[in-house]
Amino acid sequence: MSDKKANAAVSRRKFIAAAGGTAALGASAAAAPRAARAAGTAHKPHYGMLIDLRRCIGCHACSVSCKAEFDVPLGATRSWVEYIEKGDYPDVSRQFLPRLCNHCSKPQCVDVCPTGATWKREEDGIVVVDADICIGCKYCILACPYDARFTNPITGTADKCDFCQHRVSQGLVPSCVNACIGEARIFGDLNDPQSEISKLIARNPVTVLRQEMGTEPNVFYIDADHTDPNGATNNGQYVRVDTHRQHAERR
Amino acid sequence: MQQELMWGLPVVLYLFLAGVGAGALTVSASIFLRGGDVARGLHVDTARYGAFLAPVPIMIGCGLLVFELGSFETGHWFKWLNLYKVINLSPMSIGTWLLSVTVVVSVVYAYTFLRDAPGLPNEMRYPLRRKLSWLAVPLGIATAVYTGILLGAMPSRPFWNSPIVALLFLVSALSTGIAGTLLIRALFHASNPDPETGKNFSRSGYLLTAADVLLIGFELMIIFLFIMYAHLTIGSVKEAVSVILFGGDLAPLFWLGVVVIGLLIPALVESIYIVPKLLYHRDFSVPRGVEVVVPAVILVGGFMLRYVVVVAGQITGPVGI
């Protein structure tokens, strides 16, 4: 860990030294990796997302902006918000759980792909699908423990969230992060200990979804309610999950 | 539980048909090697029926798989050829290559059983047949096991994610392969063969029927172990297996269709014909009606086993979030 910090410190110093020549660099979520690139060091970002549910109001702005960004076909969702209702009056609550691809460090979907159409990018850790290679066998859809994938009805190939790689590569944040009115979504480089996301993960209790699957997700949650109608946390009380997807139940 | 199935009837049929073909191939090659002499071995006539049957269901099954592909459904007719551009450790990738080799071997193997096969004189045909049967036994077993590994590779599907599913599919494939061979034989064999052929016919029939009873016994034991271990654990696997236990959505189909109709009844009927020869060395003979109906029922049971397993794996998932 201290090595990592030292490296980061060195790269920042180099960056400051080189800053005169790269003054065009603006402030952005991807500033730290850019700094490393400008300084010529081998810093590889590993992108992740943190969703702070204390700030989420369940407005679906993320889902809508994702739909708009990718023109996701009707009935399919790359990004969605689940509502969890539980309890009996007057002791009731409603929690929100925004969902997307977890860009796992051990992605099961990649392990089962027979054509090599999906892989975890070495340069930034984003799990991507190449629709030109994918044959639509649906193996990855079944292998994903998060139901993050679906068959795109237009291309007939597997489709899912790709962390808006076209935006991220331009130094922008993903569309859902941009649209979040409560700033509940924080996107950034998990490899950089000075990034906002790394600091927040270090300072807060965070959880991931279905960690027992061993997939090592890179989407973290603060204050998430892991209640599931079939799970161990429902305490025998009334629980209803509304996925806001075509299939009403989690799977 | 209302859910759209990712893998539907084509995949169920494929798993079943590939199992029948792989089983028939293994069984045919095994009894051929067991029968001795290449030209007029003891079981060569029955092995011929198995050899002619084997490639047909495998090829039909593979064809059905293509129809299930999302790319095919959206009009990219030949995109599935991408499967042949790589080989990786995905069970489906290994399975693709394995199936391709198995199809080729089974077709050539069947060709060596053609009397007066064009372009293949007997002095080449018999050695080739023997070599190919040594290849056909492991290939058939591998194909049958692969159909189970395909499902078992995913921790996200607790019903499938067990090493015993592949074993269950292997034993079921051998059993349905025997049933397929016996059915084809019953449908096409001559009514009044000469005494020598008739004697061999009866001995092969006894060997296969007895083996089938044994395999069905194994299958019941595997099903028992599968359910018992799943039920004794806690969490996702226990929840998943509850769909085939009493009160579950698939329980009637599983217990009545797979266990009673597909396994218990055929095993009992087959036993009735085996026991006199086994214990009292009486002649083994089966009426033609029984010869046709029992294998047909075993095949239906094999199909229902694949159906229950494929559907159960998809309507269940990890518990909790």
Q: Per the domain annotation, does B45 fall within a domain?
A: yes
Question: Looking at CA atoms only, how far is residue B72 from chain A in angstroms?
Answer: 8
Please, what is the Cα angle at A249 between A243 and B3, to 5 degrees? 130
Rounded to an integer, what distance in angstroms lies between the CA atom of residue A43 and that of residue A30?
Answer: 12
Exposure on the CB side of residue B66, measured as CA atoms within 13 A = 15
Provide φ and ψ at A232, rounded to 5°.
Answer: -85, -10
Q: Are B183 and B150 in contact (CB under 8 A)?
A: no
Partners of residue B310 in chain A, C-beta under 8 Å: none
Displacement of CA B252 from its chain's centroid (Å): 23
As averages over each run of 10 residues, the pLDDT of chain B (321 residues) reads 78 97 97 79 90 97 94 94 95 96 97 86 89 96 96 95 96 98 91 79 93 97 96 92 94 97 97 92 88 96 97 93 90
> Rounded distance, CA B320 to CA A48, Å?
23
- Asked if A131 has any chain B CB less than 8 Å from its own CB, the reply is no
Q: Is residue B2 part of a domain?
A: no
Rounded CA-CA distance B251/B161 in Å is 20
Cβ contact A232–B319 (<8 Å): yes
In 3-state terms, what secondary structure has residue B159? Answer: coil
Q: Tell me which residues of chain A, numbers 167 to 226, contact chain B at a CB-CB cutoff of 8 Å.
A: 209-210, 212-214, 226
CA distance A227 to A240: 9
The predicted complex's ipTM stands at 0.92
Local structure of A159: helix, strand or coil: strand
CATH number at residue B31: 1.20.1630.10
Name the domain count of chain B.
Answer: 1
Are the beta carbons of A138 and B88 separated by less than 8 Å? no
Which residue in A81, A102, A230 has the most chain B C-beta atoms within 10 A of its own C-beta, making it the best mutation to test that interface?
A: A230
Beta carbons within 10 angstroms of residue A171's beta carbon: 15
Q: Which domains does chain A have, with CATH numbers?
A: 1-43 (no CATH), 47-107+162-242 (3.30.70.20)
**Which positions in chain B touch A233 (Cβ < 8 Å)?**
320
Give A234's contacts in chain B (Cβ within 8 Å). Answer: none
Q: Which of residues 87-116 of A touch B (CB under 8 A)?
A: 97, 108, 111-116
Residue at B169 is within a domain: yes
DSSP string spanning A71-99?
A: TPPTT--SSEEEEEEEEETTEEEEEEEEE
Determine contact: B62 vs chain A, CB below 8 A. no
Q: Could you read off the pLDDT of A85-123 as tens digits, one per residue?
A: 999 999 999 999 999 999 999 999 999 999 999 999 999
- Digit-coded pLDDT (tens) for A188-212: 999 999 999 999 999 999 999 999 9
Contacts of B146 in chain A (CB under 8 A): none
* A138 Cα to chain B: minimum distance (Å): 7
Q: Does A155 have pLDDT greater than 80?
A: yes
Q: What is the pLDDT of residue B3?
A: 57
Is the pLDDT at A6 greater than 60? The verdict is no
CB contact under 8 A, B320 and A249: no
Q: Is A180 helix (H, G, I), strand (E, B) or coil?
A: coil
Decide if A143 and B239 are in contact by the 8 Å CB cutoff.
no
**A228 contacts on B by Cβ (under 8 Å):** 319-321
Alpha helices by DSSP H, A107-221: 108-112, 139-143, 165-168, 175-179, 196-203
Cβ contact A226–B320 (<8 Å)? yes
Rounded Cα distance between A100 and A78, Å, is 6
Could you tell me if residue B3 is inside a domain?
Answer: no
- Where in the sequence is the domain holding B185, given as residue range(s)? 9-315
Structure letter (DSSP) for residue A92:
E
Q: Are B208 and B178 in contact (CB under 8 A)?
A: yes
Q: How far apart are CA B146 and CA B18, in angstroms?
A: 10
What is the structure's pLDDT at A1?
37
Hunting for tokens 């099954």 — which residue is that? B61
Provide DSSP, B69-85: -HHHHTT-TTGGGGGGT
Please list, in sequence order, all residues whose beta carbon lies within 8 angstroms of the beta carbon of residue B224, skipping any fewer than 6 positions away: none
Per the domain annotation, does B321 fall within a domain? no
* Residue B320 counted as domain residue: no
Secondary structure class of B233 (helix, strand, coil): coil
Residue B4: inside a domain, yes or no? Answer: no
Q: Is B220 a member of any domain?
A: yes
